[in-house]
Amino acid sequence: MEKMIEEARIVFQERVLGQIFRMRLSAPGIVSKARPGQFVMLRVREGMDPLLRRPFSFSRIDLEKGEFEILYRVVGRGTLLLSRLSPGERVNLVGPLGNGFTLPTDGAIPLAFIAGGIGVAPLLEVIARVNSGREVRLFYGARTALELLPEDFLDIPGVRVHFATDDGSFGHSGRITALFQEVIAGGGFRPLQIYSCGPLAMQYGVAKWALENRTPAQLSLESLMACGIGACLGCALPSASPEEPGAERFVHVCEDGPIFSAGSIQWNKILAQQSPPPTLAFN
Ligand SMILES: Cc1cc2nc3c(=O)[nH]c(=O)nc-3n(C[C@H](O)[C@H](O)[C@H](O)COP(=O)(O)OP(=O)(O)OC[C@H]3O[C@@H](n4cnc5c(N)ncnc54)[C@H](O)[C@@H]3O)c2cc1C
Ligand code: FES
């Protein structure tokens, strides 16, 4: 994996909705090697506050201009400071990191994208690349309408978007995984490949459905990351191997992922580590 350190210039930054921001960065070196599903470790500013870099996925990659975008939610100190930066300022990046999504080689198979909250970010570049000559549907859920990016922002002509909110304030009322199942059960759409990113309980729901229905699924998983380059071992997840189902093995989200197939993770172990345990979709 070829990664580099680069000083990136902020091209623009805008508040899209509530605590969600979109930032465009010029980083020709990193962009020339970037693939959808990969990420950068971004130093929000020099000094000790915050000490660690923060991981962000590529939400758009513009090879021609040598620029990329991130779409992020302000959740703590690092993202708050990031949201206050202005065009022209510079941030230090390490990237591109991780394995990235594998794009479909069959030009016509129908695809489903399943996104929970800000998990829509890494899916946007994949959708842009695969969205012609095939049926593509995006299943996009959030807790409430106030956290849901509007359809015109998504700007993906030809893609049918199914919205869901947990509180029923927009679209289907309930979990996005439930809406996905409902649409499949209704007939007329059957994906042959799934791409997904969102909260762990949602990802588990997607993985369970994919395994039961023998549909390949690529899931972008998150983990707390201190280094992003395989050095701190802080992002380890228990992995599953069909050859040795009982073996204690671990993968590192930063190097082996963040994209994993549905069957490569020991979901029961990860879910048991969550406190409180998440409410599981599909159960
Ligand atoms: C590979 C990868 C790609 C990511 N891509 C994006 C993206 O495109 N857009 C985006 O908004 N966010 C993304 N994230 C999450 C993002 O890195 C964190 O939200 C950010 O680091 C929080 O920094 P902070 O200083 O604002 O918050 P902190 O003060 O560090 O944390 C605030 C709260 O957020 C939680 N948190 C922090 N990091 C994570 C994480 N990785 N997973 C789950 N909870 C976390 C903390 O436990 C804490 O409760 C990604 C994470 C990973 C691992
Ligand atoms: S974040 Fe340090 S090993 Fe993955």
Task: Give me the percent of the chain exceeding a pLDDT of 90.
Answer: 73
Task: Give me the percent of the chain exceeding a pLDDT of 70.
Answer: 94
57 in ligand 1 pocket by Cβ < 6 Å?
yes
Would the pTM of this model clear 0.85, i.e. be above it? Answer: yes
Model pLDDT, residue 245 = 64
Written as one letter, the residue type at 40 is V
50 in ligand 1 pocket by Cβ < 6 Å?
yes
Which ligand 2 atom minimizes the distance to the CA of 230?
A: 3
238 in ligand 1 pocket by Cβ < 6 Å?
no
Q: Tell me how far the alpha carbon of residue 1 lies from the centroid of ligand 2, in angstroms.
A: 15
242 in ligand 1 pocket by Cβ < 6 Å?
no
Q: Name the residue with tokens 């489903």.
A: 112
1 in ligand 1 pocket by Cβ < 6 Å?
no
Q: Give the integer Cα–Cα distance in Å for 108 and 132.
A: 9
- Beta partners for residue 72, in sequence order: 21
Which ligand 1 atom minimizes the distance to the CA of 80?
A: 26
Q: Which of 70, 36, 53 is nearest to 225 (CA)?
A: 53
Q: Indicate the range of 33-37, 47-51, 135-139 predicted with least confidence.
A: 47-51
Residues with CB under 6 A from ligand 2: 225-228, 230-235, 252, 254
pLDDT surpassing 60 at residue 41: yes
68 in ligand 1 pocket by Cβ < 6 Å?
no
pLDDT surpassing 70 at residue 275: no
Paired tokens of 255? 């190097």
Query: Which pLDDT tens digit goes with each residue over 213-267?
Result: 999 999 999 888 999 999 998 899 888 776 676 667 889 999 999 999 999 988 8
On average, the pLDDT of the chain sits at 91
Could you tell me where in the chain the CATH 2.40.30.10 domains are found?
4-97
Which ligand 1 atom minimizes the distance to the CA of 82?
A: 26
pLDDT surpassing 90 at residue 28: yes
Question: What is the residue-wise DSSP string for the chain?
Answer: ---EEEEEEEEEEEEEETTEEEEEEE-HHHHHH--TT-EEEEE-SSSSSS-S-EEEE-SEEETTTTEEEEEEE--SHHHHHHHT--TT-EEEEEEEES--PPPPSSTT--EEEEEEGGGGHHHHHHHHHH-SSS-EEEEEEESSGGGSPPHHHH--TT-EEEEEETTSSSSEES-HHHHHHHHHHTSS---SEEEEES-HHHHHHHHHHHHHTT--EEEE-----SSSSSSS-TTEEEE--SSSTT--EEEETTTT-SEEEGGGB-HHHHHHHSSSPPPPTT-
225 in ligand 1 pocket by Cβ < 6 Å?
yes
Q: Tell me how far the alpha carbon of residue 228 lies from the centroid of ligand 2, in angstroms.
A: 5
Q: Which residues, 6 or more positions from 44, have their beta carbon under 8 angstroms from its beta carbon?
A: 50, 53, 54, 78, 81, 82, 85, 91
Instruction: Output the CA angle 12-33-222, nearest 5 degrees.
Output: 75
> Which superfamily does 4-97 belong to?
Translation factors (2.40.30.10)
| Ligand that lies nearest to the alpha carbon of residue 234, given by its number in the listed order | 2
39 in ligand 1 pocket by Cβ < 6 Å?
yes
Q: Which residues, 6 or more positions from 41, have their beta carbon under 8 angstroms from its beta carbon?
A: 53, 54, 55, 93, 94, 95, 97, 225, 227, 228, 229
Paired tokens of 268? 């029961």
Under CATH, which number does the domain 111-222 receive? Answer: 3.40.50.80
CB burial class (10 A; 0-12, 13-18, 19+) of residue 87? exposed
Query: Which pLDDT tens digit goes with each residue over 113-125?
Result: 999 999 999 999 9
Could you tell me where in the chain the CATH 3.40.50.80 domains are found?
111-222
Written as one letter, the residue type at 159 is V
Paired tokens of 142? 């959030």
| Ligand that lies nearest to the alpha carbon of residue 223, given by its number in the listed order | 1
